[in-house]
Amino acid sequence: MDGTGPLTFQAEKELVRRYYAALDAGGDTSPYCDPQMVWRGFHPFGLITGAEAVRETFWTPLQTALTPLQRRLDVFMAGQNEMDGFASVWVVSMGHLMGLFDAPWLGIPPTGKIAMLRYAAFHKIEGGRIVEEAMYFDLPHLMGQAGLRPFGPQTAAELVQPGPMTHDALMFDVQDPALGEETLATINAMVADLGTWGLGLPLEDELRRTWAEDMLWWGPTGIGASYTIKRYAQQHAGPFRAAFMNRAKTGHICRMAEGHYGAFFGWPNFTATHLGGFMGMPKSDTPVEFRVIDVYRAGGGKLHENWIFIDLLHVWNQLGVDLLKRTTQIGRV
């Protein structure tokens, strides 16, 4: 292999690394992005078309607020997208964007201290350019660092979330394709079980089909992180399933894997109707959509760690509750 073929993804990885270097330095990113790049982001941004519009709307204000902006990568990988028959190549990264929070952003007051915005991003590469990007980020976690609490008490732990326990997810070099195939198969088995929301098994036994007993579920602010199948069932999976009905079939724009890691995202991933009580919110008869990125570490046919980004601000905004606006107007608590 020469390191640039479709099975190695080295050219695509290098493109995104150069894009990140230019972006983080405030430089020219036009050599790396299609001018009509489609960008998907969390509330309040949504869908933006055009690389320059993305810079003006998202990146410049963020880089003005968090200075100097530093990208701290925990996961970097590439692969072919199962959702289009493995025709397209996507590069995925995850980590934190860090800086001194010295200017307001989206109405969130600056702290003058280090702040970290946890994120995950998917980049679709065509013709040597980034033509699509999904940039999902835990905005409520940043709000919490500034003393703002958009949600009530959560069921699991709120943390600055670490990268993989095995410290092997920065896959800048060529990986064994067989490992990626195994990881993708494990993820697909979990998605198949998830789509049923009930296999006639107790929840914990259902989870044991695809999850390791000592699993780590690094959930978003508003829900939190859980450790072990038992606590995950108690602190998220059980309460979530009890609070929603009519869950639509899972749908993704991209699902891929490389090495022991895999990821997917949707726009939305699914819809469901809230019966009331989840995160302290009232019942609604209107289905809401969930925009989600999941990043996984797998091995031995089991999932061991899962970092999940859910646009919870968008979820409740669909029901007429703009928690970002309401919380920033109220101010610090």
Could you report the per-residue pLDDT of 288-322, keeping only the tens digit for each?
999 999 999 999 999 999 999 999 999 999 999 99
Could you report the per-residue pLDDT of 13-23, keeping only the tens digit for each?
999 999 999 99
Which pTM was predicted?
0.95
Cβ 111 vs Cβ 328: under 8 Å: no
Pick left, alpha or beta for residue 53 (phi over 0 → left; psi -120 to 50 → alpha; otherwise beta): alpha
The average confidence (pLDDT) of the chain is 94
288-290 and 270-274 strand pairing = antiparallel
Euclidean distance between CA atoms 73 and 55, whole angstroms? 20
Task: Please give the domain boundaries of the chain with CATH numbers for all domains.
Answer: 10-145 (3.10.450.50), 177-330 (3.10.450.50)
33-41 and 129-137 strand pairing = parallel
Could you report the per-residue pLDDT of 168-219, keeping only the tens digit for each?
999 999 999 999 999 999 999 999 987 555 567 899 999 999 999 999 999 9
Least confident interval from 79-93, 149-163, 211-225, 235-249: 149-163
Euclidean distance between CA atoms 206 and 141, whole angstroms? 30
